Chains A and B, each alone.
Chain A
């Protein structure tokens, strides 16, 4: 099979399988006639009514803002803290027990205290909460990535008198970037989970809030529509990140392929 034909077949399969599952869902729900599992067609109609686009601004935009802001803060903090920790053995010695402690904490355990500490059930609390738990995968991957740099890279730069800050910018960061991206992918799915969790716990807007309200009022079609939307958001955000990674790390794929020869 030629490369082009292979690609088209792969994309077709990627679309066909979910369509088949959805068709099966429709057939099954029509047959079962269970109010807990509304028909796919009902859910989709509901989905269109709610999200395209009457409640989009009211609930989807706040959710996306929270995910975006929380994730962005986590990326910046994770890299800012991870690079020096990766470079300093003493820094790691002092910081790692704390990192491991907070990383092991199940997020729901900190939800009530986050509301109390931040005096907020609005964006401030939600963004901080998302940022806090998204920080760890990025931080740990940055530390690992920085530690794993081949010393020949840094020795070369040092022998040419490249100064410390420039070494970090031109050698350390790019070399660690593939691993930082791996951490970002983990964090992004965490960000969506945290978004739903915080909104479900205490909120007046957002997709998680809609989920909670429709559940509490036994409106099952809107609840399912919210579930579908959360899935679509998670999938779409991940896709965006993968596209960004392909662009930024195109050298990495080429390099690895060349190394493997």
Chain B
């Protein structure tokens, strides 16, 4: 291991002349950076947002649409640097979209006022133990991968956990790259479905209904 560190450590050690200078300028972030942000700060809260929408009385199809629309708005952003809490952002945006939907349907629905009221109780507080949340997230990744059919699971473990390239994965398993790609797509479909079907029970600390009110009082 230290072997492959050597050339880097010995090279260009003084390339940092003015690194304390703060670059102010156009704030457009790369797509890769936005994807990393959404993967780390938005997606892990999707199950909670869905559970909350469900408790607020939204139908399954409505929840799918609201969640998709939220990602759409994120995809339209040039930068996510202004979002301090992904969780709060997710809840807030989903709530706004849900309320817009209800307003648009107002003519045919009479009980919508109570639905809007329900949506106003946003339980977007993060769990008290962020460390525990981090560990749970690891368990969640593992659980998602373990839930895949055998071939998919092998490929995901090699690609995502061990960081092998598609080519290396294909060589290791003795299959073509095409098979790896097809299985990756299949596995990803299943994982996306699992992420949207996750129920509140999967997330013991955050998702419990009785915490809806008590959680607000913290701090």
Whether chains A and B associate is no
Interface residues of A (CB under 8 A from B): none
Residues of B within 8 A of A (CB): none
